[in-house]
Amino acid sequence: MRADTLSLDERVHVLDSQTNVWTVIDQIANTGMQEEAFYVCDIGNIVHKHKIWTSAMPRVKPFYAVKCNDSLTVLEVLAALGTGFDCASKAEINKVLSLGVQSNRIIFANPAKPNSHIKHAVATGVDLMTFDNETELYKVKDLYPDARMVIRIRQDATVSQCPLGMKFGCNAITEAPQLLKLARELGINVVGVSFHVGSGCKDPPVFRKAIAAARSVFDYAKTLDFNFNLLDIGGGFPGDFGTSIDRIAEIVNAALDDYFPDPSVDVIAEPGRYYVSSAYTLACNIHSIRTVNNKNGDKHYMYYINDGVYGSFNCILYDHQKVVAQPLKEYPDSDLKSSSVWGPTCDALDEVLPNVLLPELHLGDWLIFENMGAYTLPVASPFNGFPIPKVHIVANENVWLLLKDLLPLTEGHFIIGSRSPERLAMEITDGEPWSLPTMPITIPVRGKDGKIEEHVLEFVEMCQ
């Protein structure tokens, strides 16, 4: 069981009803012992997303796209909830299998696979794979003749955060027929159609076009005596707070009724961003401030924080993410000032927000960024010696009750009971295993008689 080897900061901290992500951030940030940037991940948010998904698109089984956030806890929660997984490489396949997930819950959804990775799919029994070109079919004939192949077609959203069509997907009309004929000649078992309209899709009706195009490929395949039974509608679903999949779901459900009324066709999707974006909130500390005069002589505030575009904010460069900074403290009386926010490295490219209105902030203040769970941590690097933020994982009691006995999760994954904020901070401050502080830590407490007393915090809880 992984639970036996979990370190303290890999476990899920169960919150009481008075506590939420923001109060946890506040507690950790205000210990005075936390300097590094850190995340709080609320796995309840992932559970909530799953509930919405299953009620919005009951026919569409989600296969979570591992590349979006490959944290073991995320994968374990989704495995416990019963999703499948979209893996793109040998290592992603291994990670998912290591949780005890069966190989039939994985789609190897990379249309251009290195040979050794195909061989690995053979060895591990992951037989569902995508393709969009001839050479892949020849490779599969040699290396994995029993694979069940899915042809990926291209249908791009008019607007998306990250289009994928220039790299993957064949034309459903001009290319798919030739590929299917070749597959037939090579004796390859093609079982269905996939597409990806683009990540962060801002064009819901594209799903109808793509599903219609998939129908035409199904129909052509029938003329070659293929018996397709799988439709994979890919990713592209939004996941930030305040977004909704309702409109896409409505379009997908109607298109499935119109084009795929036969319930024997299995429909899957490969959502990444949808499941994890809003589950992760990042807290960054302001460690330096410069004030400069801008062109019209007004004061401009430059804030330097301890995570930047080489770390979590790589999502600004690679994922075209718009990030929003919210001060942790409230400044009710402060007017908003012309400001910019910069990462910690010595590269001028390392700019988080070029132009933003913020109250006047001070050294040691914290800036909070919500919606930081998708395409952030797996891409981050410790460039220039600035560490990748650690993650403090939380869940409320209902989520704990729901998940604690759902394998691969176990009771051992959770830590229950209130804990001192100092203890929280120490877990995520450095890579060393947690140890008792050498000096007692005191906080001022007002006694019953109104006098301030020094109260020594206890570190009694030993979790191993």
Contact window for ligand PLP (CB under 6 A) among 50-58, 210-218, 233-241, 324-332? 233-241
- Please tell me whether residue 177 binds ligand PLP under the rule CB under 6 A: no
Beta carbon of residue 65, minimum distance to ligand PLP (angstroms, whole number):
3
* Catalytic-residue membership of 162: no
- Please tell me whether residue 49 binds ligand PLP under the rule CB under 6 A: no
Of the candidate residues 272, 308, 311, 359, the single one contacting ligand PLP (CB under 6 A): 272
How, if at all, do strands 366-369 and 280-293 pair?
antiparallel
Q: Which residue's CB comes closest to ligand PLP? A: 235
Beta carbon of residue 89, minimum distance to ligand PLP (angstroms, whole number):
11
Strand positions, DSSP E, 215-345: 230-232, 266-269, 280-293, 299-305, 326-327, 337-342
Of the candidate residues 12, 25, 65, 267, the single one contacting ligand PLP (CB under 6 A): 65
Of the candidate residues 9, 76, 270, 365, the single one contacting ligand PLP (CB under 6 A): 270
- Please tell me whether residue 392 binds ligand PLP under the rule CB under 6 A: no
Residue 158 DSSP label: S
Of the candidate residues 11, 209, 273, 392, the single one contacting ligand PLP (CB under 6 A): 273
Of the candidate residues 34, 45, 83, 199, the single one contacting ligand PLP (CB under 6 A): 199
Question: CA nearest 127: which of 151, 110, 103, 143?
Answer: 103
Q: How far is residue 105 from each of residues 25, 122, 129, 270, measured CA to CA in Å?
A: 35, 15, 12, 12
How, if at all, do strands 38-42 and 390-396 pair?
parallel
Q: Which one of the listed residues 41, 162, 346, 463 is annotated catalytic?
A: 346
- Total binding residues for ligand PLP by CB under 6 A? 16
Residues 6 or more apart whose CB falls under 8 angstroms from that of 178 comprise none
Contact window for ligand PLP (CB under 6 A) among 42-50, 246-254, 266-274, 297-305? 266-274
Question: CA nearest 399: which of 132, 9, 130, 20?
Answer: 20
User: Looking at beta carbons only, is 34 or 314 nearer to ligand PLP?
Assistant: 314
Residue 364 DSSP label: T
Instruction: Check: CB of residue 311 under 8 Å from CB of residue 73.
Output: no
Q: List helix spans (H) across 277-362.
A: 314-318
Q: Footprint of ligand PLP on this chain (CB under 6 A)?
A: 65, 67-68, 86, 109, 196, 199, 234-237, 270-274
Q: Which residue numbers are catalytic?
A: 346
